[in-house]
Amino acid sequence: MRTLVGDERILMKHGAGGRAMRRLIEEVLTEGLAAGGRPGDRGLKAMDDGAALRVGDQWLVITTDSHVVHPLFFPGGDIGRLAISGTVNDLSMMGATEVLGLTCAIVIEEGFARADLVRVQQSMRATAHEAGAAIVTGDTKVMGRGELDGLVLNTTGVALTDRVVSDAALQPGDVLIVTGTIGDHGFAVMAARHGLALDGALQSDVAPLNDMIRRVLRAGGEGVVAMKDPTRGGVASSMHEMASKAQLSIVIDETAVPVTEQARAASELLGIDPLHVANEGKAVIGVRAAAADAVLQALHAHPLGRRAAIVGRCVEGRPSVVLDTGVGRRLLMEPEGEPLPRIC
Amino acid sequence: MCLGVPGRIVEVNGLVATVDFWGIRRQVRLELVDQPVAPGDYILNHVGYAIRRIPDADIEGTLALYEQLLREAESDGDLMVADVRGEIAAAEASRDER
Amino acid sequence: MSVDAAVRQLRFRDPAAARALAAALGRVTRDIGREPVSVMHVCGSHEQAIARFGLRAVFPKGLNVIMGPGCPVCITDVPEVDEAIALARQGVHIATYGDMLRVPGSSRSLADAHAEGGHIHVVYSIGQALDLARSTTGEVVFFATGFETTAVTTAAVVLGAVPPNFSVLSAHKYIPPVMEIVAEMPDTRVEGFLAAGHAAAITGWGIFEAFVNNHHSPVVVAGFEPLDILAGLVRLVELVRDKQPSVVNMFPRCVSRDGNLRAQEQLWRVFRPIGGRWRGIAHVPNGNLRLRDEWAHVDARRRFTIDLTSLWDDAPPTLAHQCICGDIMAGIKSPSDCTLFGSSCVPDMPVGACMVSTEGTCRIWHQYGSAS
């Protein structure tokens, strides 16, 4: 019986959005809870970006997130913008683009600079405004120096929608669209966090997507069948979840995946696949083939969707994600934990 | 910062060069490279050190190598290979125009 | 201009050229008239590139491209990992390349040591370890792993100005001796070797001539782009077909006959080769690089008393005797022949070398499936 420390302790990989985290959630965190909740609601069993609770003939979508990004201020954004965008986007991925309200709970480490707190709050305010949403309540706590690393933000969002779009409804023949360039946020944060001295313009893409998704839903209607925001674990994780829930195989055309030159450079230098890297201003959208053009058009017309592209298609087969590299083919792995740069 | 990655030198300051990798610039150390390097040269970077200068001509030389391989392999008159060689030639022609 | 570089890069990944080379590879393999034809590469970066671009899906069925013991992470032995962990537990800052983090020692990995409060820092370059040493008063040890291509950078640092609180724990390895081991294994079926282009950029391709003469096995030096690998394999299989044991350099843009003499001089001024165990493969004469005596003052093994015994208290019963990584690396067995593969030996709880690293044969089979 192996007694490696990992069996008893939570490690960084458990928060990285990949397989280890999924297993922790399934085996420990949601253990015994899925049976709770009202019949007809879509809660923990669905393990989607949020929960959808039936209210009259509509759905109340609710989602919650904690944000612990480091550094707090990174090229292209900060923890405040990340918090608001993340929650607004989780709601949008469920089809709920009209946000009723947001909450914000803050835990602050003793010694944290007040000026930084002001910066974060201003950023949250601006981002919420961008999303047409308001922060309506919150909570504040302070912990002793060293008991917490700077700042932890938790945001919850609620929205109403007539139709819930899940991440589980793909069928063979459907196509998969990414709404723009992949890997921007993760590589920007990695560069800043590890002091990589990548003296290039790597910027996070963090942004609220509800306006863009609103137009997507208007253009594609019932043809929009699945949506996920590829945050931790990247597009690979999202594709794996969608393939697994729909019990089919997804084939990705690697040459069609939009990647900025800067992210491509970071990817080559670090040996980390952009498909494994977090995005905070992008969506993966599963669409019936007939609706794909309309959805693409709507995306291209929006400032956040200019580089949108069809990158994959669904085929019959055991749940898997296959990558066509242009020069060959392979399975795309589900990321294990934090992406780590390689030794050669 | 990884396996031998080619980059273009932008600036040299003693034993440190600023190198451009697909638009991103990094500092690379020059203690190991065995030829003098100057801005415009391509080098092979390995974990932060230039280990080799890559003469421009050698990139063409490598592609010519592949060309020859395909020529030799094509002796049974494989039409697809001929098509592909045409594509490579066209790509070279358009590159030469740049 | 950066566009230029991008253009050059993409020319080595051109799908049409790749298809043509794959077709050519199929033809020369069939020319040999028997199956399988087995060749080996000895570089984790080659396997990474093969796996990353999905090249095995386009290799001909009759060609066996085996990954040999060329993964620097995989062959770093248990006691070496334990040394780094023990130092961490003694309060020393350990700077390490990222993919050594999860390699299990006798009872835990550096990642585990970090979770237990050890100061483990992931670096991308030894230069960052120096920066760390300059920014702290504590002792900083650089866990120097990797083959000769990486060892030369450690050598350059040792020869330069080093802060007093900085030292090196050398676990560097030297590849050519292990090719001898593989070629001399009694059951070996390997008919030719693809040599690592970046290592050869340092050592030159001339060092393979003696090997080729002794073992009558062709060696082709190849780069790491898809076209480099496919073209290298076409050449290698041609040499096998024509029974021509010679060295061919298919990476002329980076590799010359003599290599980088300046880097070689620094390497051997700082390091001496000694025999030692490579994880999964028994003893490799001259396969390990250790700091020469004149660098004792920056040698972590001589600066510290490293207490490994505390790590053995909770060492789990070893499954190592069932591990067949050595046979896998020699191309005699495959992961599916191993009783532990996929059950007791999985990426989260690796037993042998081949499952430890993202470049290990078993790890790649486990994650990508044995065929695409």
Give me the residue spans of the domains in chain B. Answer: 5-54, 57-97
The predicted structure's pLDDT at residue C294: 96
Which structural domain range is residue C333 located in? 320-368
Same domain, residue pair C350 and C234: no
User: Is residue C180 situated within a structural domain?
Assistant: no
Contact B4, B45 (CB under 8 A): yes
Half-sphere exposure of residue A227: CA atoms within 13 angstroms, side-chain side: 31
Q: Is the pLDDT of residue C242 over 90?
A: yes
The predicted structure's pLDDT at residue B76: 45
Same domain, residue pair C95 and C138: yes
Of B24, B27, B46, the CB nearest to A200: B24
Query: Which residues of chain A from 325 to 344 reach within 8 Å of chain C, CB to CB?
Result: 325-331, 333, 336, 340-344
For chain A, count helices (H), then strands (E). Answer: 8, 14
Q: Give the tens place of pLDDT for each residue, A121-173.
A: 999 999 999 999 999 999 999 999 999 989 999 999 999 999 999 888 999 99
Burial label for B41, CB within 10 Å (0-12, 13-18, 19+), is: buried
Q: Give the tens place of pLDDT for each residue, A15-61.
A: 777 777 888 888 888 888 877 788 888 887 777 778 999 999 999 99
Read off the CATH number of the domain in which C66 is found.
3.40.50.11750
Q: Give the tens place of pLDDT for each residue, B44-67.
A: 988 889 999 988 766 667 767 777
| pLDDT tier, C308 (very low <50, low <70, confident <90, very high otherwise) | confident
Q: Which two tokens stand for residue C31?
A: 């020319």
Same domain, residue pair C106 and C158: yes
Q: Is the pLDDT of residue A88 over 90?
A: yes
Report the distance separating Cα A34 and Cα A27, nearest Å. Answer: 12
Same domain, residue pair C29 and C58: yes
Q: List the domains of chain A with CATH numbers.
A: 41-161 (3.30.1330.10), 175-331 (3.90.650.10)
- Chain B contacts of C152, Cβ < 8 Å? 32, 49, 51
Same domain, residue pair C222 and C239: yes
Q: Is the pLDDT of residue B72 over 80?
A: no
Q: Give the tens place of pLDDT for each residue, C155-195.
A: 999 999 999 999 999 999 999 998 998 888 877 788 999 99
Same domain, residue pair C36 and C136: no
Q: Which two tokens stand for residue B69?
A: 């391989």
Query: Out of A311-315, C69-73, C76-80, which region has the weakest mean confidence (pLDDT)?
Result: C69-73
Q: Is the pLDDT of residue A180 over 90?
A: yes
| pLDDT tier, A3 (very low <50, low <70, confident <90, very high otherwise) | very low
* Mean pLDDT (chain A, rounded): 89
Contact C220, C212 (CB under 8 A): no
What DSSP string runs through C267-326? HHHHEEEEEEEETTEEEEEEEEEEE-GGGGGGBHHHHS----HHHHTTPPPP-GGG--HH
- Using DSSP's 3-state secondary structure scheme, residue A235 falls into helix
Report the distance separating Cα A89 and Cα A229, nearest Å. Answer: 7
Contact C194, C41 (CB under 8 A): yes
- Using DSSP's 3-state secondary structure scheme, residue C362 falls into helix
Give the length of chain A: 344
Of C7, C48, C125, the CB nearest to B48: C125
Of A261, A341, A342, the CB nearest to B22: A261
Q: Which two tokens stand for residue B33?
A: 């490279």
Higher model confidence: residue A27 or residue B90?
A27
Asked if the Cβ–Cβ distance from C23 to B80 is below 8 Å, we say yes
User: Is residue C183 situated within a structural domain?
Assistant: no
Whether A20 has its CB under 8 Å from any CB of chain C: the answer is: yes
H/E element, C120:
strand C120-123
Same domain, residue pair C31 and C148: no
User: Is residue C340 situated within a structural domain?
Assistant: yes
The residue type found at A101 is G
User: Is residue C103 situated within a structural domain?
Assistant: yes
Long-range contacts of C29-33 (CB under 8 A, 24+ apart): C29/C60, C29/C62, C29/C63, C29/C237, C30/C60, C30/C62, C31/C241, C32/C62, C32/C237, C32/C240, C32/C241
Q: Is the pLDDT of residue A343 over 60?
A: no
The predicted structure's pLDDT at residue A270: 73
Q: Is the pLDDT of residue B84 over 70?
A: no
Asked if the ipTM is above 0.90, the reply is: no
C57 contacts: CB under 8 Å, gap ≥ 6: A328, A329, A330, C371, C372
Query: 10 Å Cβ neighbour count for C123?
Result: 24
The predicted structure's pLDDT at residue A336: 67
From the CA atom positions of chain C, what is the Rg in Å? Answer: 21
Read off the CATH number of the domain in which C283 is found.
3.40.50.11740
Report the distance separating Cα C363 and Cα C345, nearest Å. Answer: 10
Higher model confidence: residue A277 or residue A191?
A277
The single residue listed with the structure tokens 């923890």 is A79
Same domain, residue pair C126 and C221: no
The predicted structure's pLDDT at residue C200: 95
Question: What is the total count of domains within chain C?
Answer: 3
The predicted structure's pLDDT at residue C282: 74
Higher model confidence: residue C336 or residue B61?
C336
User: Is residue C182 situated within a structural domain?
Assistant: no
Q: Is the pLDDT of residue B85 over 70?
A: no
Q: How far is C318 from chain B (nearest CA, A)?
A: 33
- Chain B contacts of C45, Cβ < 8 Å? 3-4
* Mean pLDDT (chain C, rounded): 88
Contact C31, C241 (CB under 8 A): yes
CATH architecture of the domain B5-54 equals Roll (2.30)
The predicted structure's pLDDT at residue C362: 85
Chain C residue with Cα closest to A328: C54
Q: What is the pTM of this model?
A: 0.80
User: Is residue C255 situated within a structural domain?
Assistant: no
Asked if the Cβ–Cβ distance from B2 to A199 is below 8 Å, we say no
User: Chain A: which residues have CB within 8 Å of chain B?
Assistant: 196-200, 202, 261-262, 264-266, 268-271, 341-344
Report the distance separating Cα A300 and Cα C241, nearest Å. Answer: 54
Query: Out of A106-110, A299-303, C5-9, C361-365, which region has the weakest mean confidence (pLDDT)?
Result: C5-9
